Amino acid sequence: MTTAKSTTAIPDGTSTVSHPQWLAATLLGIAFCAVLLYAVVTMSTGGWADGPTPILVSGSDWIPIQGSGRKERNGFVLEALGAGGAAILSARLAPFQAKDFPRVEVRLDSAAPPSRIYFVWQTQEHPKRNYSKPLQWLVNGVAPLELRAADGWSGTVIGVALVVRSDLGAPLRVGSARLSSPSAAAIASDIFREWGAQISLHGYSTHFPFDSERAHELPLLAAVAIAEGIAMAAYLLLARQRGWRRDRRVLWAIFLGGWVLLDLRWQASLWRDLVDQGLPFAGKTSEEKHQAAEDSTLFALVEKMKAALPAPPARVVLFCDNTAICSRAAFFLYPHNVYRASEWLATPADPALLRTGDYLLLVYSRMVGYDPGRHVVVWPNGGTRPADPIALQPEALLLRIR
């Protein structure tokens, strides 16, 4: 028999959430929506639903002021730089207020992208001054420009242009340009369109699926990472306020939820790419597959040069100014005995080491020159070897050493 009185247990703050996965999913979903809403509100420069009509420059409207090339139906192909190693393409536009169109998107494509490309403009307030901002080249073209008053994007813009100030290893195709002032609804639409876009594979042994997202309004990787951080912080704060024991399962569930979201998008893109890549090549011969590939133009060019060579194996010294083009061209030339002379991998072959009957093939290259009057190949150091032209194309020259 005892006289001790019964007591009531006092909560010690060690209770946990019964369904940590659902709490993690809820917090991650709310945080993700908050990140998206913040991005839409801060990135939009127009109203919620309406904005000024975008200004469009057709690819065929570019006018070469300096440099040379040719017009196509939907673009201009820049083939050579002008005096001083620069090319200028101008577009005629009606004057407009810079603050109404702070975003510029230009479509560019090249097998060997130039390293320095600038978007240039003039204003009515300062007609004798040119403002410029460099374009950043990504895997799939160039990133959009976000122009601000600090860049000189103010007042009334009376002219725009593109300036190339670097070596042109391969022709540069200039497509359309779009100047816009997106509304909140347009920003949200662009974000969802970018998230749902297919991540194209480029035949690399290692692929970087998030590289092209650097040009996105809000990269999905960044949105997920920020949302995970907010969700984890919210859980820790909630656990402290309610006296819950911190459960690592909730934190891991938040992290894995974001991981799964990114991986689902990646897997869906892989399946779409598998279908898209399979259709052009299924049931075709090796030659037909090359003709359907992205480098079919280079393949056709090398095939023309290859047809002028004797039966393999002939000794061929291949000159290219671009490493990627040189690698592909050498592959197309096999089973000939090919030596690749690329400015990044090797120096031009010593003319004294060449034999009579060797072949020199220049593909998009200025590494050596040919004097048709004297019938000699001229090296940058002044060395020469007599040679005869075998085949000539605008992009390539095949020579035979005497």
Indicate if the pLDDT at residue 7 is higher than 50.
no
152 within some domain? yes
pLDDT over 80 at 373, yes or no: yes
CATH, residue 140: 2.60.120.260
pLDDT, tens digit, 9 for 90 and up, residues 46-89 = 667 666 788 888 888 899 999 888 888 788 988 888 888 889 99
Extract the tokens encoding 88: 């200028």
- Residue with the larger pLDDT of the pair 329 and 168: 329
Same domain? For 151 and 205 the reply is no
**pLDDT, tens digit, 9 for 90 and up, residues 333-369:** 888 888 876 544 556 677 777 888 889 888 888 778 8
**Which contiguous run of DSSP H or E holds residue 386?**
strand 384-393
Q: 259 with 273, same domain?
A: yes
In 36-81 the beta strands, taken as DSSP E runs, fall at 55-57, 63-66, 68-72, 75-80
pLDDT tens digits along 231-240 = 999 999 999 8
What does the pLDDT read at residue 263? 92
233 and 342, same domain (yes or no)? no
pLDDT at position 84: 81
Q: Which domain holds residue 107?
A: 55-181
pLDDT digits (tens, 9 = 90+) for 102-149: 888 888 888 778 888 999 999 999 988 999 999 888 766 777 888 888
pLDDT, the chain, mean: 83
pLDDT of residue 141: 73
pLDDT of residue 327: 84
Is the per-residue pLDDT at 11 higher than 50? no
Query: Which pLDDT score, from 0 to 100, does residue 18 have?
Result: 77
10 lies in some domain: no
- Map 272-295 to HEC letters: HHHHHHHHHHCCCCHHHHHHHCCC
Q: Domain tally for the chain?
A: 3
Q: Are residues 338 and 314 in the same domain?
A: yes
- CA 106, CA 104: separation in Å to the nearest integer? 7
What pLDDT, on a 0 to 100 scale, did the predictor assign at position 229?
A: 96
Same domain as 159, residue 250: no
Residues 144 and 246 in one domain: no
pLDDT (0 to 100) of residue 257: 94
Residues 221 and 366 in one domain: no
Check: CB of residue 332 under 8 Å from CB of residue 359. Answer: no
Output the pLDDT for position 50: 67
339 shares a domain with 236: no
In a domain, 321, yes or no: yes
Q: Is the dihedral of CA 347, 351, 355, 361 positive or negative?
A: positive
pLDDT of 344 reads 46
Mean pLDDT of 18-25: 88
Helix/strand number for the chain, H first, E second: 7, 21
**Percent share of the chain, pLDDT over 90:** 21
- Domain membership of residue 74 (yes or no) is yes
Q: What pLDDT is stored for residue 12 in this prediction?
A: 43
Are residues 373 and 329 located together in one domain of the fold? yes
Does 309 lie in the same domain as 357? yes
Q: Which residue has the higher pLDDT, 333 or 10?
A: 333
Pick from 250-264, 302-316, 347-361: least confident = 347-361
**Is pLDDT above 90 for 28?**
yes
**Same structural domain, 259 and 333:** no
Asked if the structure places residue 3 within a domain, the reply is no
| End-to-end Cα, the chain, rounded Å | 121
In a domain, 141, yes or no: yes
By DSSP bridging, strand 315-320 and strand 359-363 are parallel
In a domain, 253, yes or no: yes
Q: What is the pLDDT of residue 169?
A: 76
Residue 5 lies in a domain: no
As beta bridge partners, residue 68 has 80
Considering 181, 205, 220, which residue would you say is the last residue of a domain? Answer: 181
Residues 79 and 148 reside in one and the same domain: yes
- Which of 263, 282, 301 terminates a domain? The answer is 282
Whole-Å CA distances, 213 to 41, 151, 262, 348: 20, 24, 13, 38
Checking if the pLDDT of 204 tops 90, the result is: no
Domain end: 160, 181, 202, which one?
181
For residue 225, pLDDT over 50 is answered with yes
Which pLDDT value is given to residue 119? Answer: 93
